[in-house]
Each structure stands twice: as C-alpha cells, then as structure tokens.
Amino acid sequence: MVLAAEGSQFDYTEFRDLAGTSDTRSVTISSCSPTISRCRFIDRADANATTASLYSSGANITNCFFGGLDLKIEDSVVSTLNIESNIFVDNGTALMFGNYTTNPPETGMIHNNAFECNGTSVNNYYSADLSIVSWTSATTVFPLGGNYFFRSDIYNTALTEQGDFFVYYDSLCPNQTFNFDDLLTTHPTGIGPGWGTLPF
C-alpha cells in the first residue's frame, strides 16, 4: 500500500504488486497535497479490486501510469488538485466520486487523461465505468470534459457521449450527476510517464 503525506514528492518511481488493504485501497492520499509525476502504479495480478483513493486532497498527479487501479476521489477537493496527462487502464471502475457535500472538482482539475472503461452494467458502482456514491441531497455536477475515454483495449475509438458509458448513480444522492460535455475525441499525446510498457 502506498501512502502519501503533505509535502511528499515521487518522481520516476514504480510501485508494483499493489494489493488493496483498507477498503480495497492500494494508494491513499488523504487531506494532503503531494506531487507525483512520471510514476507507475501497477496492481497485483489477482482477481481483487484495488483503488487509488484521494480524500480531501489537492494532489498534483501528472504523467503517471495506473494499471489495474480504480480512481476514487472522495469527500471534497482542495483548489490545488491537478490530475493531468495520466493513463488509467485495466480497471474495474474508471472513475468514481464519493461522499461529496462541498467542494467538488472544478472543470480543468482533472484533464488530458486517458481512461480505459471496462464496465459491464449500471446495476452497481463496481460494475460501471463511472460511478457516484453518496448519502446526501446536495446538488453536485462532476465535469468529465477534457479527458479521453475508450472501451476495453480499443484505444483509438473515443467514448464521446453519455450513452457510450455504463454509469451508476446512487439513489441516495439523487442530485449528483456527471457532465459529459467536451470529452476528447482523440487520445492525447505526451501522456503517461514516458518509460516502461505503455498501451500507446
């Protein structure tokens, strides 16, 4: 399990055989804003789901590779949050937001990333491509624009509208939705760490 603390910085580092320990988390960034660039995070080759979890964070994560980890962003974000030019593949759920009542990500905080979508249904949060889970009546819209989404291993065909995705909305947060405007139609160049095996 990888834990990041305030002021920490990782560059050109590979973390392998990650296995979720606490609520499937393999990478946890909680209430801090580390800088992580050109790193590789790779799940253990087993059937267990693992998660990269950001909780109340303003992390700066750029040009990284995540293999086999779901990205979950929880509770709130800090204004410094920047998730940019990363590759996320071999996941169960490409992107999940959880337990938001205040300070959701703003447009541009999560951008120029490539997300592989391997969802199979809208029946629950862990089988969908995109999920929102919470217990609140707060109204929140999570922007997806500026990112590239593609179906399993079909790298050059973009998912560009809501109907292309398996989306799970928790009935306990009926006023929280995704905004599908301005999704990228071609996968961005110069993304990922630039070293190690990459899908494109």
Q: 94 and 72 in contact (C-beta within 8 Å)?
A: no
Whole-structure pTM value: 0.94
pLDDT tens-digit series, residues 152-186:
989 999 999 999 999 999 999 999 999 999 999 99
Q: Give domain status of residue 127, yes or no.
A: yes
- For residue 145, tell me if it sits in a domain: yes
Tens-digit pLDDT string for the chain (200 aa): 566 667 789 899 999 888 765 557 778 898 899 999 999 999 987 767 689 999 999 999 999 999 999 999 999 899 999 999 999 999 999 999 999 888 889 999 999 999 999 999 999 999 999 999 999 998 999 999 999 999 998 999 999 999 999 999 999 999 999 999 999 999 999 999 999 888 87
Which amino acid belongs to residue 116? E
For residue 194, being part of any structural domain is answered with no
Domain count, the chain: 1
Residue 193 in domain: no
Backbone torsion region of residue 199, taken as left when φ is above 0, otherwise alpha when ψ lies between -120 and 50, otherwise beta: alpha
d(CA 108, CA 77): 13
pLDDT at position 105, please? 92
- Residue 131 in any domain: the answer is yes
Domain limits for position 138: 2-179
The answer to whether residue 189 is domain-embedded is: no
Q: Is residue 168 part of a domain?
A: yes
- 17: helix, strand or coil: strand
The length of the chain in residues reads: 200
User: Is 71 a domain residue?
Assistant: yes
